[in-house]
């Protein structure tokens, strides 16, 4: 509770490349073939997952949860296509009815896009307090489930900030049904870590290495240093990440290769309170 997971990653992890792939193999199929924009490369130590040729359509982030065994039974034929326009043109030439179907951007199981309403129906809604970083009450809300880190709109704040600037959601505390808000600069995160991680192919040999980290499907990768320990993975970016929420997935890249991913459990603010 209070976390912001990526539904597409969790679906790939537990349904498309777990339940579906397992069933396909049980039925005697060799692999599953999907329309994801990513590529597979035979590299040192085995099969590696890489970004797609078309960076604008790259979907390697949401595939970061796949392991070596799953990659060995998967095909991504569109990953090497230079653009989606070529794919659409060929589909139209072959008479495929969905050749010009618009891209999907919404959560598939919430087709109307009302995520707040869907969550309220599933988990309920209860009025609670909105506080600042010092603990002072500055407003109320109608359900903590409706907020996520980095959000600005929809805040019912009865007390204006001393500097007159907008405030953003910094934290959601479901146990106390509290939303914490603060200045935009307080969204800067200097370090992220998580206990639950996996490697997309061969695991890294070193416990500390240079990499790039990406925290959203369409975010820019940020140069960083990763540390792998018995407790999990910790990543320190070269410059602060913006608006990171526990529950998000951090995907680790080395060049175009997807090395692996972890679910963010803990964040360290780059801006101390006070």
| Catalytic site positions | 11, 108
Question: 32-33 and 74-75 as β-strands: parallel, antiparallel, unpaired?
Answer: parallel
Here the contacts of 215-222 (C-beta below 8 Å, separation 24 or greater) are 215/241, 215/244, 215/248, 215/249, 215/250, 215/251, 215/264, 216/6, 216/61, 216/248, 217/6, 217/8, 217/59, 217/61, 217/62, 221/253
Q: How far from chain centre, in Å, is Cα 95?
A: 35
- Measured distance CA(130)–CA(127) in Å, rounded: 10
Contact 49, 258 (CB under 8 A): yes
- Residue in the structure block whose two tokens are 């924009």: 37
């Amino acid at each position: 509770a209070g976390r912001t997971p990526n539904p597409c990653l969790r679906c790939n992890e537990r349904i498309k490349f777990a339940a579906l792939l397992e069933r396909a193999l049980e039925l005697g199929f060799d692999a599953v073939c999907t329309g994801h924009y990513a590529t597979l490369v035979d590299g040192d130590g085995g099969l590696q997952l890489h970004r797609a040729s078309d960076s604008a359509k790259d979907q390697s982030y949401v595939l970061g949860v796949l392991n070596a065994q799953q990659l060995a039974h998967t095909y991504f034929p569109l990953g090497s296509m230079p653009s989606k326009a070529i794919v659409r043109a060929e589909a139209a030439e072959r008479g495929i009815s969905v050749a010009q179907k618009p891209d999907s951007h919404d959560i598939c199981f919430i087709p109307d896009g009302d995520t707040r309403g869907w969550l309220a129906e599933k988990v309920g809604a209860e009025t609670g307090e909105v506080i600042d970083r010092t603990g002072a009450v500055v407003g109320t809300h109608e359900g903590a489930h409706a907020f996520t880190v980095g959000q600005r709109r929809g805040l019912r704040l009865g007390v204006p900030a001393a500097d007159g600037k907008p405030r953003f959601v910094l934290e959601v505390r479901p146990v106390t049904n509290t939303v914490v808000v603060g200045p935009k600069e307080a969204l800067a995160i200097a370090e992220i870590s998580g206990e639950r991680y996996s490697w997309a192919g061969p695991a890294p040999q070193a416990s500390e290495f240079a990499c790039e980290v990406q925290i959203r499907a369409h975010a820019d990768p940020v140069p960083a240093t990763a540390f792998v320990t018995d407790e999990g993975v910790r990543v320190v970016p070269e410059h602060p990440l913006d608006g990171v929420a526990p529950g998000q997935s951090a995907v680790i890249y080395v060049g175009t290769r997807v090395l692996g991913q972890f679910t963010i459990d803990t964040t360290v603010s780059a801006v101390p309170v006070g």
